[in-house]
Structure 1
Amino acid sequence: MVNKCGICGKFINPLDGIKCTKCDGLYHQVCLKLSPGHQVSSKWRCRSCKGNKLDNKGSSSSRMHSCADGHTDDIREDLSPLLQVSSGNMVEEVRQVIRAEMSSFRDELARICSTISDFNNRANAIESRLSTLEDQLAARAMDEEVRMSTIEERLAVRGVREENVNLNGIISQLQTQLNDREQECFLCDVEISGLEERSGENLINMVSLIGKKLGVDLDDRDVVSVERSGPRPSAVEGGSQQRSRVVTVRLTRRALRDELLRAARVRRGADTSGINSGTPRRFYINERLTRLNKQLFYKAREEGRRKGWRYVWTSGGRIYIRRGAGTPAYRIRSDMDIEKFFGDAIV
């Protein structure tokens, strides 16, 4: 807090001024017409505080106050020359104010540095915990591999039919679990087929145009990655035309992927007109499936077509079949399920 003299209004050092014991006001000794080093009573009060006290006691007390404080008239007469303060004192007072402000600034800066240091320590602790979790996951994956290797070794050494059946069941179960986990990684992915492959193509722009054509607003921020999957195409028999590879798109949200699939089903038959030059071709958008699920889906469709089952579809990376409207739906998890639901083995 900056202190000022109650008479001249200039800055004053609390140690150099005289302080009123009632109102805590500060005054220069010069402004009070006192010589340097003058001893002041510990119960000294300023003129205003004395005047308030004397007003309560009556006019006679007021006259006594005027006699006791003989400097009042002199102070009023000398106010004008006392308002001129030397430049040296003014500079010193400003320096004291700046020192106080700089000291406060340093304290605040030290507090901020301490807070930043605490945040850095917390971030390091989080990184350490993440590293530990990654090591644990790697160890678990290694244990799974060791476990499967152990099962295969037992199958090769014992050669017992009953144990082979049990172990094959365990392996099948583990493969199913691994397949399900791999499929969960594709919950935000779609595959677009039927897009002509060209050198230097901009796949992200192509996906955005497809989204607009289907009524789904897609921009660059909604696409995590997009690429052509599979080996380079080879020439089709009887001509030089090549079969284009599938475009795999990973979106930021599963809800956005589901919206794109619904729009593709509603606008079934959409083609590439307005997306790229050349002859318009129909394109198809489907869920991205694992290699095992693709094989099962293909077998289920072929067998369903042969047996007259009307519905074979995927939802959330899972394969379902239904004979007709109003009949129960079944989920296909393995070749055994295809044999079970369709009635006989598939060659």
Structure 2
Amino acid sequence: MEYPMKNIMESFSIMLDSKLATVKQDLSIIDAKLSSTKQDIFSEMKKEFELAIKDIKEEFTETTDFLEEQLKSFRLDIRTIDKKVKELESENQRLSTELHIIKSNQKSQPNTSEIQCRLDQLLVDINDRDQALLLNDIEISGVPEYTGESTTHVVQTVAQKLGVKLEPQDIVGVERVGPARAPGAGAVAAADARPRSRPLAVRLARRALRDEMLRNAKVRRGIDSQNIGLPEHTPQPIYINERLTKSNRRLFWMSRQAGRASDWKFVWTREGRIYAKRSDNTDTKAVNIKSEQDIQRVFGVVPTASDRK
């Protein structure tokens, strides 16, 4: 009985070894396939990552190139403005010196019409130079004034209401101008007793932005102070105009008073100059107002002095 049992065990062992060998072979094939699949997956993932990184690099390069061009343009605009300001300041200094000499001479010489005429012309020239320094400026009136306000943000929001997109670098400077104002007439309630807001003087980096703001303000009349980033308040009308020198503001105010008194239909400013027109008739020409003498000559009334700023 031993021999048959031994033979059976040997046969079973051989058969088991054969099966194990087949299983090992199958496992080797599976392992090879898994390794190949793993390599394919890693290779595909690597390609995807490389493509994504390449796209990101290209987009980043395009963005930085665009920003660099914008920065170059901005710097060029600033240099141009700075050069123009220096030239105008130099010319203004020359005119001021000449005016001082004339005034000094007036004390020791008779007041002749020729000297007075030259003096008046010098005053006009100085005012023109000062106005030229404001060609990139606008004045925004009607924006309520608050302590700690972000004037730059307010200007950007007002511009957005006008359909103009202003970036922070487009705004060279913003400040409230003029002395603090008393509450308006008839203010009784505590909320109404807040001092009247001073106008915002805004200097923009480019003349084109200033012109776009003024142009859109004429089209979109009626904007107010609602939703411009200020604390809760009663909305007030907002007005956007050219910024004028103190002398031109006074002359403009006097011209408007004289125009109303004489039934002239239009009195306006353009590029810092004051114009008037009797009617909307196309044959009627606009008249340039340069002095108080012009007001009396054009409107036929004696101009009314004003301390308004």
The answer for the alignment partner of 1:344 in structure 2 is: 301
The answer for the alignment partner of 1:306 in structure 2 is: 261
CA contact (8 A) 2:92 2:126 kept: no
CA distance in 2, matches of 1:151, 1:262: 42
What SS does the aligned partner of 1:215 have?
coil
What SS does the aligned partner of 1:272 have?
coil
Give TM-score scaled by structure 2 length: 0.64
Shift of 1:158: 2.2
CA contact (8 A) 2:263 2:278 kept: yes
Matched, 1:251 2:204: yes
Give the fraction of aligned pairs with identical amino acids, expressed as a percent: 40
Shift of 1:339: 1.0
Shift of 1:159: 2.4
CA distance in 2, matches of 1:293, 1:166: 24
**1:243-286 superposed Cα distances (whole Å, 9 cap, x missing partner):** 11111110011111010011111111111111133211111000
Shift of 1:235: 3.8
What SS does the aligned partner of 2:166 have?
coil
Matched, 1:158 2:109: yes
CA contact (8 A) 2:95 2:122 kept: no
CA distance in 2, matches of 1:267, 1:284: 10
The answer for the alignment partner of 1:289 in structure 2 is: 244
What SS does the aligned partner of 1:199 have?
coil
Give TM-score scaled by structure 1 length: 0.57
**1:134-167 superposed Cα distances (whole Å, 9 cap, x missing partner):** 89x76x766544422221122222225xx2x111
CA distance in 2, matches of 1:141, 1:311: 32
CA distance in 1, matches of 2:293, 2:174: 35
Matched, 1:263 2:216: yes
1:208 counterpart letter in structure 2: Q
Cα distance, 1:304–1:205 mapped onto 2, change above 3 Å: same
CA distance in 2, matches of 1:143, 1:242: 40
Give the alignment partner of residue 328 of structure 1, picking from 265, 270, 285: 285
Shift of 1:333: 0.6
Give the count of matched residue pairs: 210
What SS does the aligned partner of 2:274 have?
strand
CA distance in 2, matches of 1:174, 1:283: 36
The answer for the alignment partner of 2:29 in structure 1 is: none
**1:188-221 superposed Cα distances (whole Å, 9 cap, x missing partner):** 0000010100011111111111111111111101
CA distance in 1, matches of 2:92, 2:221: 42
Cα distance, 1:180–1:154 mapped onto 2, change above 3 Å: same
The answer for the alignment partner of 2:137 in structure 1 is: 189
2:131 counterpart letter in structure 1: Q
CA distance in 1, matches of 2:95, 2:223: 45
CA distance in 1, matches of 2:207, 2:215: 12
Cα distance, 1:182–1:143 mapped onto 2, change above 3 Å: closer
The answer for the alignment partner of 1:319 in structure 2 is: 274
Cα distance, 1:192–1:159 mapped onto 2, change above 3 Å: same
CA distance in 2, matches of 1:205, 1:344: 44
- Is there any run of 5+ residues in structure 1 with no aligned partner, and where? 1-133
Q: Which moved more, 1:142-151 or 1:291-300?
A: 142-151
Cα distance, 1:142–1:322 mapped onto 2, change above 3 Å: closer
CA distance in 2, matches of 1:171, 1:263: 39
CA distance in 2, matches of 1:205, 1:312: 32
CA distance in 1, matches of 2:186, 2:233: 21
After superposition, where does 1:61-210 map in structure 2 within 5 Å?
143-160=94-111, 163=112, 165-210=113-158
What SS does the aligned partner of 2:202 have?
strand
CA distance in 1, matches of 2:269, 2:118: 26
What SS does the aligned partner of 1:224 have?
strand
- Aligned alpha-carbon RMSD (Å): 2.1
**1:277-322 superposed Cα distances (whole Å, 9 cap, x missing partner):** 3211111000000001001100110110111100100011110000
- Is there any run of 5+ residues in structure 2 with no aligned partner, and where? 1-85, 188-192, 305-309
2:258 counterpart letter in structure 1: E
Cα distance, 1:182–1:241 mapped onto 2, change above 3 Å: same
CA distance in 2, matches of 1:338, 1:142: 29
